[in-house]
Structure 1
Amino acid sequence: MNILYEIEDSLYVNITNQCPCRCVFCIRNEGEEINNSGSLWLEHEPNIDEIKEEFKSYNLKDFSEVVFCGYGEPLVRINEVIEIAKFIKEKENIKVRVNTNGLSDLVHEKNTSIMLKDVIDSISISLNAPNKELYTKVTRPKFGDISFDSMLNFAKECKKNVKEVAFSVVDEISQEEIKQSYEIANSIGIKLKVRYKA
Protein backbone atom coordinates (compact mmCIF):
# COMPACT_ATOMS: atom_id res chain seq x y z
CA MET A 1 0.00 0.00 0.00
CA ASN A 2 1.62 3.23 -1.17
CA ILE A 3 0.75 6.21 0.99
CA LEU A 4 3.73 8.33 -0.08
CA TYR A 5 5.30 8.53 -3.53
CA GLU A 6 7.73 10.82 -5.34
CA ILE A 7 7.47 12.80 -8.56
CA GLU A 8 10.61 14.80 -9.35
CA ASP A 9 11.35 16.84 -6.21
CA SER A 10 7.84 16.62 -4.72
CA LEU A 11 6.60 14.12 -2.15
CA TYR A 12 2.98 13.12 -2.66
CA VAL A 13 0.54 11.92 0.00
CA ASN A 14 -2.11 9.40 -1.09
CA ILE A 15 -4.57 9.17 1.80
CA THR A 16 -7.88 8.13 0.19
CA ASN A 17 -9.41 6.54 -2.86
CA GLN A 18 -12.75 8.25 -2.22
CA CYS A 19 -13.85 10.91 -4.70
CA PRO A 20 -17.20 12.60 -5.38
CA CYS A 21 -16.38 12.87 -9.10
CA ARG A 22 -15.92 10.47 -12.01
CA CYS A 23 -13.95 12.67 -14.42
CA VAL A 24 -13.80 11.36 -17.98
CA PHE A 25 -10.03 11.97 -18.09
CA CYS A 26 -9.26 10.52 -14.63
CA ILE A 27 -5.86 8.85 -14.52
CA ARG A 28 -7.37 6.15 -12.29
CA ASN A 29 -9.11 4.78 -15.39
CA GLU A 30 -5.77 4.07 -17.05
CA GLY A 31 -3.81 2.14 -14.45
CA GLU A 32 -2.92 1.80 -10.82
CA GLU A 33 0.22 3.94 -10.53
CA ILE A 34 1.82 7.27 -11.44
CA ASN A 35 5.48 7.61 -12.36
CA ASN A 36 6.44 4.19 -10.97
CA SER A 37 4.74 4.99 -7.66
CA GLY A 38 3.53 1.44 -7.23
CA SER A 39 -0.20 0.82 -6.87
CA LEU A 40 -2.07 3.81 -5.42
CA TRP A 41 -5.16 1.73 -4.73
CA LEU A 42 -5.29 1.58 -0.94
CA GLU A 43 -6.09 -1.62 0.98
CA HIS A 44 -7.75 0.61 3.56
CA GLU A 45 -7.87 4.28 4.48
CA PRO A 46 -4.63 4.85 6.40
CA ASN A 47 -5.02 6.37 9.84
CA ILE A 48 -2.95 9.26 11.16
CA ASP A 49 -0.39 7.02 12.82
CA GLU A 50 0.12 4.96 9.66
CA ILE A 51 0.67 8.10 7.60
CA LYS A 52 3.13 9.55 10.11
CA GLU A 53 5.00 6.25 10.17
CA GLU A 54 5.50 6.44 6.40
CA PHE A 55 7.21 9.82 6.74
CA LYS A 56 9.99 8.19 8.78
CA SER A 57 11.31 6.72 5.52
CA TYR A 58 11.83 10.15 3.94
CA ASN A 59 14.00 13.19 4.61
CA LEU A 60 11.81 16.22 3.91
CA LYS A 61 14.93 18.28 3.18
CA ASP A 62 15.18 16.30 -0.06
CA PHE A 63 11.94 17.78 -1.39
CA SER A 64 10.66 21.19 -2.46
CA GLU A 65 7.08 20.50 -1.37
CA VAL A 66 4.67 17.94 0.01
CA VAL A 67 1.49 17.49 -2.04
CA PHE A 68 -1.77 15.90 -0.93
CA CYS A 69 -2.80 14.17 -4.15
CA GLY A 70 -3.29 10.51 -4.95
CA TYR A 71 -6.00 8.19 -6.23
CA GLY A 72 -8.80 10.09 -4.55
CA GLU A 73 -9.93 13.53 -3.37
CA PRO A 74 -7.77 14.42 -0.34
CA LEU A 75 -10.23 16.89 1.17
CA VAL A 76 -12.77 14.11 1.65
CA ARG A 77 -10.47 13.51 4.65
CA ILE A 78 -9.91 17.19 5.41
CA ASN A 79 -9.34 16.67 9.15
CA GLU A 80 -6.58 14.16 8.44
CA VAL A 81 -5.05 16.47 5.81
CA ILE A 82 -4.89 19.28 8.36
CA GLU A 83 -3.40 17.09 11.09
CA ILE A 84 -0.74 15.64 8.78
CA ALA A 85 0.06 19.08 7.35
CA LYS A 86 0.70 20.37 10.88
CA PHE A 87 2.87 17.31 11.57
CA ILE A 88 4.90 18.03 8.40
CA LYS A 89 5.39 21.67 9.39
CA GLU A 90 6.65 20.61 12.80
CA LYS A 91 9.28 18.46 11.13
CA GLU A 92 10.37 20.84 8.37
CA ASN A 93 9.59 24.29 7.01
CA ILE A 94 8.42 22.97 3.64
CA LYS A 95 5.67 24.06 1.27
CA VAL A 96 2.47 22.02 1.64
CA ARG A 97 0.07 21.90 -1.31
CA VAL A 98 -3.32 20.30 -1.88
CA ASN A 99 -4.62 19.25 -5.29
CA THR A 100 -8.42 19.20 -5.08
CA ASN A 101 -11.60 19.12 -7.12
CA GLY A 102 -12.87 21.96 -4.93
CA LEU A 103 -16.05 20.22 -3.79
CA SER A 104 -15.18 19.81 -0.11
CA ASP A 105 -17.84 22.33 0.94
CA LEU A 106 -20.46 19.97 -0.51
CA VAL A 107 -18.77 16.91 0.98
CA HIS A 108 -18.69 18.39 4.50
CA GLU A 109 -21.70 20.72 4.18
CA LYS A 110 -19.81 23.80 5.42
CA ASN A 111 -17.18 26.37 4.42
CA THR A 112 -13.99 24.30 4.43
CA SER A 113 -11.47 26.82 3.10
CA ILE A 114 -11.24 28.51 6.49
CA MET A 115 -10.02 25.18 7.92
CA LEU A 116 -6.97 25.36 5.64
CA LYS A 117 -5.87 28.80 6.85
CA ASP A 118 -2.30 28.89 8.21
CA VAL A 119 -1.95 25.14 7.50
CA ILE A 120 -1.92 24.78 3.71
CA ASP A 121 0.43 27.01 1.68
CA SER A 122 -0.90 26.29 -1.79
CA ILE A 123 -4.01 24.82 -3.35
CA SER A 124 -4.68 23.74 -6.92
CA ILE A 125 -8.36 23.46 -7.83
CA SER A 126 -9.64 21.52 -10.83
CA LEU A 127 -11.72 24.05 -12.80
CA ASN A 128 -12.07 21.49 -15.62
CA ALA A 129 -14.50 23.55 -17.70
CA PRO A 130 -15.67 27.15 -18.26
CA ASN A 131 -19.38 26.55 -17.64
CA LYS A 132 -21.75 24.44 -15.56
CA GLU A 133 -23.02 22.26 -18.40
CA LEU A 134 -19.59 21.19 -19.65
CA TYR A 135 -18.25 20.86 -16.11
CA THR A 136 -21.04 18.45 -15.18
CA LYS A 137 -20.48 16.46 -18.38
CA VAL A 138 -16.69 16.23 -17.97
CA THR A 139 -16.44 15.91 -14.17
CA ARG A 140 -19.60 13.88 -13.49
CA PRO A 141 -19.90 15.00 -9.85
CA LYS A 142 -22.25 13.09 -7.57
CA PHE A 143 -23.71 16.40 -6.35
CA GLY A 144 -24.95 17.33 -9.84
CA ASP A 145 -25.48 20.83 -11.20
CA ILE A 146 -24.69 22.70 -7.98
CA SER A 147 -21.10 21.46 -8.11
CA PHE A 148 -19.69 24.04 -10.54
CA ASP A 149 -20.88 27.06 -8.56
CA SER A 150 -19.78 25.47 -5.29
CA MET A 151 -16.30 24.85 -6.70
CA LEU A 152 -16.03 28.48 -7.86
CA ASN A 153 -17.18 29.74 -4.47
CA PHE A 154 -14.66 27.47 -2.74
CA ALA A 155 -11.92 28.99 -4.94
CA LYS A 156 -12.97 32.53 -4.02
CA GLU A 157 -12.95 31.62 -0.32
CA CYS A 158 -9.53 29.99 -0.68
CA LYS A 159 -8.17 33.32 -1.92
CA LYS A 160 -8.94 34.69 1.55
CA ASN A 161 -7.38 31.81 3.44
CA VAL A 162 -4.57 30.22 1.40
CA LYS A 163 -1.41 32.00 0.17
CA GLU A 164 -1.32 30.46 -3.31
CA VAL A 165 -4.44 29.47 -5.24
CA ALA A 166 -4.47 28.11 -8.78
CA PHE A 167 -6.97 26.56 -11.17
CA SER A 168 -6.25 23.74 -13.59
CA VAL A 169 -7.93 22.34 -16.68
CA VAL A 170 -7.04 19.27 -18.71
CA ASP A 171 -6.67 19.67 -22.48
CA GLU A 172 -9.59 17.26 -23.01
CA ILE A 173 -11.69 20.37 -23.65
CA SER A 174 -11.37 22.50 -26.79
CA GLN A 175 -8.98 25.41 -27.26
CA GLU A 176 -11.95 27.79 -27.22
CA GLU A 177 -13.12 26.29 -23.93
CA ILE A 178 -9.60 26.59 -22.51
CA LYS A 179 -9.65 30.26 -23.55
CA GLN A 180 -12.99 30.72 -21.77
CA SER A 181 -11.53 28.99 -18.71
CA TYR A 182 -8.71 31.55 -18.65
CA GLU A 183 -11.33 34.30 -18.74
CA ILE A 184 -13.16 32.82 -15.73
CA ALA A 185 -9.92 32.39 -13.80
CA ASN A 186 -8.82 35.95 -14.60
CA SER A 187 -12.19 37.34 -13.53
CA ILE A 188 -11.66 35.81 -10.08
CA GLY A 189 -7.97 36.74 -9.98
CA ILE A 190 -6.66 33.17 -9.93
CA LYS A 191 -3.99 31.83 -12.28
CA LEU A 192 -4.83 28.89 -14.55
CA LYS A 193 -2.60 25.96 -15.50
CA VAL A 194 -3.40 23.71 -18.47
CA ARG A 195 -2.53 20.06 -17.84
CA TYR A 196 -1.69 18.14 -20.98
CA LYS A 197 -2.54 14.46 -21.21
CA ALA A 198 0.20 12.30 -22.68
Structure 2
Amino acid sequence: MTILYKLGDSLYVNVTNKCPCACKFCIRIDHDNVNGEDNLWLPHDPSVEEIIEDFKNFCLEDYKELVFCGYGEPLIRIHEVIEVCKYVRSMSDIKIRVNTNGLSDLIHKKPTAHLLKGYVDGLSISLNAPTKEAYLEIVRPRFGIESFDAVLKFAEEAKEFIEDITFSVVDIIPKEQIEACRRIATERNIKFRIRTFIE
Protein backbone atom coordinates (compact mmCIF):
# COMPACT_ATOMS: atom_id res chain seq x y z
CA MET A 1 0.00 0.00 0.00
CA THR A 2 1.55 3.29 -1.11
CA ILE A 3 0.88 6.02 1.46
CA LEU A 4 3.94 8.24 1.05
CA TYR A 5 5.54 8.67 -2.35
CA LYS A 6 8.15 10.92 -3.96
CA LEU A 7 7.54 13.31 -6.82
CA GLY A 8 10.33 15.71 -7.73
CA ASP A 9 11.72 17.19 -4.53
CA SER A 10 8.44 16.84 -2.63
CA LEU A 11 7.05 14.04 -0.48
CA TYR A 12 3.37 13.27 -1.09
CA VAL A 13 0.79 11.77 1.26
CA ASN A 14 -1.91 9.54 -0.23
CA VAL A 15 -4.65 9.39 2.43
CA THR A 16 -7.69 8.26 0.45
CA ASN A 17 -8.94 7.22 -2.97
CA LYS A 18 -12.38 8.69 -2.34
CA CYS A 19 -13.38 11.83 -4.25
CA PRO A 20 -16.71 13.64 -4.76
CA CYS A 21 -15.73 14.56 -8.33
CA ALA A 22 -15.32 12.69 -11.60
CA CYS A 23 -13.19 15.13 -13.60
CA LYS A 24 -13.11 14.40 -17.31
CA PHE A 25 -9.32 14.69 -17.32
CA CYS A 26 -8.61 12.74 -14.11
CA ILE A 27 -5.40 10.71 -14.31
CA ARG A 28 -7.08 7.91 -12.35
CA ILE A 29 -9.11 6.99 -15.42
CA ASP A 30 -6.13 5.46 -17.22
CA HIS A 31 -3.25 5.22 -14.72
CA ASP A 32 -2.49 3.83 -11.29
CA ASN A 33 0.40 6.21 -10.55
CA VAL A 34 1.80 9.68 -11.24
CA ASN A 35 5.51 8.99 -10.95
CA GLY A 36 5.87 5.77 -12.89
CA GLU A 37 6.57 3.82 -9.72
CA ASP A 38 3.98 3.74 -6.98
CA ASN A 39 0.50 2.25 -7.34
CA LEU A 40 -1.69 4.83 -5.62
CA TRP A 41 -4.82 2.70 -5.39
CA LEU A 42 -5.30 1.94 -1.71
CA PRO A 43 -6.86 -1.29 -0.37
CA HIS A 44 -8.30 0.85 2.45
CA ASP A 45 -7.97 4.35 3.85
CA PRO A 46 -4.83 4.18 5.97
CA SER A 47 -5.19 4.99 9.64
CA VAL A 48 -3.28 7.88 11.19
CA GLU A 49 -1.05 5.27 12.80
CA GLU A 50 -0.31 3.61 9.46
CA ILE A 51 0.51 6.97 7.88
CA ILE A 52 2.82 7.95 10.73
CA GLU A 53 4.52 4.55 10.59
CA ASP A 54 5.33 5.09 6.92
CA PHE A 55 7.17 8.31 7.75
CA LYS A 56 9.87 6.13 9.33
CA ASN A 57 10.87 5.14 5.78
CA PHE A 58 11.62 8.73 4.74
CA CYS A 59 13.81 11.62 5.91
CA LEU A 60 11.84 14.86 5.77
CA GLU A 61 15.05 16.85 5.51
CA ASP A 62 15.45 15.43 1.98
CA TYR A 63 12.34 17.24 0.72
CA LYS A 64 11.33 20.85 0.22
CA GLU A 65 7.68 20.26 1.11
CA LEU A 66 5.11 17.72 2.21
CA VAL A 67 2.00 17.57 0.03
CA PHE A 68 -1.30 15.91 0.83
CA CYS A 69 -2.31 14.71 -2.62
CA GLY A 70 -2.93 11.19 -3.82
CA TYR A 71 -5.66 9.38 -5.70
CA GLY A 72 -8.51 11.07 -3.87
CA GLU A 73 -9.58 14.27 -2.13
CA PRO A 74 -7.46 14.54 1.04
CA LEU A 75 -9.86 16.84 2.89
CA ILE A 76 -12.47 14.10 2.90
CA ARG A 77 -10.27 13.01 5.82
CA ILE A 78 -9.57 16.48 7.15
CA HIS A 79 -9.29 15.35 10.77
CA GLU A 80 -6.77 12.64 9.89
CA VAL A 81 -4.83 15.16 7.79
CA ILE A 82 -4.65 17.47 10.80
CA GLU A 83 -3.45 14.67 13.07
CA VAL A 84 -0.68 13.80 10.63
CA CYS A 85 0.25 17.48 10.40
CA LYS A 86 0.54 17.60 14.19
CA TYR A 87 2.94 14.68 14.07
CA VAL A 88 5.03 16.25 11.30
CA ARG A 89 5.10 19.62 13.08
CA SER A 90 6.42 17.90 16.21
CA MET A 91 9.62 16.95 14.41
CA SER A 92 10.03 19.21 11.37
CA ASP A 93 9.38 22.70 10.02
CA ILE A 94 8.91 21.37 6.47
CA LYS A 95 6.35 23.32 4.44
CA ILE A 96 3.00 21.52 4.34
CA ARG A 97 0.60 21.93 1.41
CA VAL A 98 -2.76 20.37 0.62
CA ASN A 99 -3.92 19.91 -2.97
CA THR A 100 -7.71 20.02 -2.83
CA ASN A 101 -10.79 20.42 -4.97
CA GLY A 102 -12.07 23.00 -2.50
CA LEU A 103 -15.29 21.14 -1.73
CA SER A 104 -14.48 20.37 1.90
CA ASP A 105 -17.36 22.48 3.24
CA LEU A 106 -19.89 20.52 1.18
CA ILE A 107 -18.26 17.23 2.13
CA HIS A 108 -18.48 17.98 5.85
CA LYS A 109 -21.60 20.18 5.68
CA LYS A 110 -19.94 23.00 7.61
CA PRO A 111 -17.10 25.56 7.23
CA THR A 112 -13.75 23.79 7.41
CA ALA A 113 -10.96 26.15 6.30
CA HIS A 114 -10.38 27.38 9.85
CA LEU A 115 -9.58 23.84 11.00
CA LEU A 116 -6.37 23.92 8.99
CA LYS A 117 -4.99 27.03 10.69
CA GLY A 118 -1.56 26.42 12.18
CA TYR A 119 -1.15 23.06 10.49
CA VAL A 120 -1.09 23.81 6.76
CA ASP A 121 1.12 26.41 5.08
CA GLY A 122 -0.45 26.30 1.63
CA LEU A 123 -3.50 25.22 -0.31
CA SER A 124 -3.62 24.51 -4.02
CA ILE A 125 -7.29 24.59 -4.98
CA SER A 126 -8.36 23.12 -8.31
CA LEU A 127 -10.63 25.59 -10.09
CA ASN A 128 -10.59 24.26 -13.67
CA ALA A 129 -13.59 26.28 -14.88
CA PRO A 130 -14.74 29.91 -14.72
CA THR A 131 -18.51 29.37 -14.34
CA LYS A 132 -20.93 27.14 -12.48
CA GLU A 133 -22.05 25.50 -15.69
CA ALA A 134 -18.57 24.83 -17.06
CA TYR A 135 -17.43 23.52 -13.66
CA LEU A 136 -20.37 21.11 -13.52
CA GLU A 137 -19.60 19.85 -17.02
CA ILE A 138 -15.86 19.22 -16.64
CA VAL A 139 -15.46 18.45 -12.91
CA ARG A 140 -18.77 16.60 -12.49
CA PRO A 141 -19.08 17.02 -8.69
CA ARG A 142 -21.71 14.96 -6.91
CA PHE A 143 -22.93 18.10 -5.12
CA GLY A 144 -24.24 19.59 -8.35
CA ILE A 145 -24.42 23.19 -9.48
CA GLU A 146 -23.71 24.70 -6.05
CA SER A 147 -20.19 23.26 -6.10
CA PHE A 148 -18.49 26.11 -7.99
CA ASP A 149 -19.63 28.79 -5.54
CA ALA A 150 -18.60 26.52 -2.66
CA VAL A 151 -15.06 26.36 -4.04
CA LEU A 152 -14.85 30.16 -4.27
CA LYS A 153 -16.23 30.56 -0.74
CA PHE A 154 -13.79 28.01 0.67
CA ALA A 155 -10.86 29.82 -0.97
CA GLU A 156 -11.96 33.20 0.36
CA GLU A 157 -12.31 31.86 3.89
CA ALA A 158 -9.02 29.98 3.69
CA LYS A 159 -7.19 33.25 3.04
CA GLU A 160 -7.96 34.25 6.63
CA PHE A 161 -6.16 31.23 8.06
CA ILE A 162 -3.56 30.09 5.54
CA GLU A 163 -0.87 32.29 4.04
CA ASP A 164 -0.35 30.65 0.66
CA ILE A 165 -3.47 30.07 -1.45
CA THR A 166 -3.36 29.17 -5.14
CA PHE A 167 -6.07 28.48 -7.68
CA SER A 168 -4.94 25.98 -10.30
CA VAL A 169 -6.30 24.90 -13.67
CA VAL A 170 -5.25 22.09 -15.97
CA ASP A 171 -3.88 23.23 -19.32
CA ILE A 172 -6.30 21.20 -21.46
CA ILE A 173 -9.29 23.47 -20.84
CA PRO A 174 -9.86 26.18 -23.49
CA LYS A 175 -7.52 29.18 -23.35
CA GLU A 176 -10.39 31.62 -22.88
CA GLN A 177 -11.52 29.63 -19.83
CA ILE A 178 -7.98 29.62 -18.45
CA GLU A 179 -7.86 33.41 -18.75
CA ALA A 180 -11.29 33.75 -17.16
CA CYS A 181 -10.07 31.61 -14.25
CA ARG A 182 -6.98 33.81 -13.99
CA ARG A 183 -9.26 36.85 -13.65
CA ILE A 184 -11.23 35.12 -10.89
CA ALA A 185 -7.98 34.53 -9.01
CA THR A 186 -6.70 38.06 -9.58
CA GLU A 187 -9.97 39.63 -8.41
CA ARG A 188 -9.66 37.69 -5.17
CA ASN A 189 -5.95 38.32 -4.69
CA ILE A 190 -5.24 34.61 -4.98
CA LYS A 191 -2.24 33.18 -6.82
CA PHE A 192 -2.84 31.33 -10.08
CA ARG A 193 -1.11 28.34 -11.62
CA ILE A 194 -1.61 26.39 -14.84
CA ARG A 195 -0.95 22.67 -14.34
CA THR A 196 0.35 20.47 -17.12
CA PHE A 197 -2.04 17.67 -18.01
CA ILE A 198 -0.42 14.30 -17.26
CA GLU A 199 -0.83 11.94 -20.20
How far apart are residue 193 of structure 1 and its match?
0.3
Aligned pairs (5 A) from 1:153-168: 153-168=153-168
Aligned to 2:147, what secondary structure does the other structure show? helix
Aligned to 1:40, what secondary structure does the other structure show? coil
Aligned pairs (5 A) from 1:7-46: 7-46=7-46
The corresponding residue for 1:140 is 140
How far apart are residue 196 of structure 1 and its match?
1.7
How far apart are residue 28 of structure 1 and its match?
0.5
* CA–CA separation in structure 1 for the residues paired with 2:7 and 2:156: 29
Q: Deviations over 1:27-85 (max 9, x none)?
A: 10121011124110001110011000000001100010000000000000000000001
Contact preservation (8 Å) 1:74, 1:98? yes
More displaced stretch, 176-185 vs 71-80: 176-185
Contact preservation (8 Å) 1:120, 1:162? yes
How far apart are residue 172 of structure 1 and its match?
2.0
Structure 1, unpaired ranges of 5+: none
How far apart are residue 121 of structure 1 and its match?
0.3
Contact preservation (8 Å) 1:66, 1:95? yes
Contact preservation (8 Å) 1:10, 1:66? yes
Aligned pairs (5 A) from 1:166-181: 166-181=166-181
TM-score, normalised to structure 2, is: 0.98
* CA–CA separation in structure 1 for the residues paired with 2:59 and 2:176: 44
More displaced stretch, 40-49 vs 29-38: 29-38
* CA–CA separation in structure 2 for the residues paired with 1:120 and 1:50: 20
* CA–CA separation in structure 1 for the residues paired with 2:55 and 2:178: 38
Aligned to 1:56, what secondary structure does the other structure show? helix
Q: Deviations over 1:108-163 (max 9, x none)?
A: 01110000011100000001111110000000000000000000000000100101
* CA–CA separation in structure 1 for the residues paired with 2:150 and 2:124: 15
The corresponding residue for 1:63 is 63
Q: State the AA in 2 paired with 1:21.
A: C
* CA–CA separation in structure 1 for the residues paired with 2:45 and 2:23: 22
* CA–CA separation in structure 1 for the residues paired with 2:171 and 2:64: 27
Contact preservation (8 Å) 1:6, 1:37? no
How far apart are residue 181 of structure 1 and its match?
0.7
* CA–CA separation in structure 2 for the residues paired with 1:37 and 1:24: 24
Aligned to 2:21, what secondary structure does the other structure show? coil
Q: State the AA in 2 paired with 1:61.
A: E
The corresponding residue for 1:6 is 6
Please give the root-mean-square deviation of Cα atoms over the aligned residues, in Å. 0.7
Identity of aligned residues (%): 52
* CA–CA separation in structure 1 for the residues paired with 2:151 and 2:39: 29
Structure 2, unpaired ranges of 5+: none
Displaced runs of 4+ in structure 1, greater than 4 A?
A: none
Aligned to 2:194, what secondary structure does the other structure show? strand
* CA–CA separation in structure 1 for the residues paired with 2:106 and 2:172: 25
User: How many residues get paired?
Assistant: 198
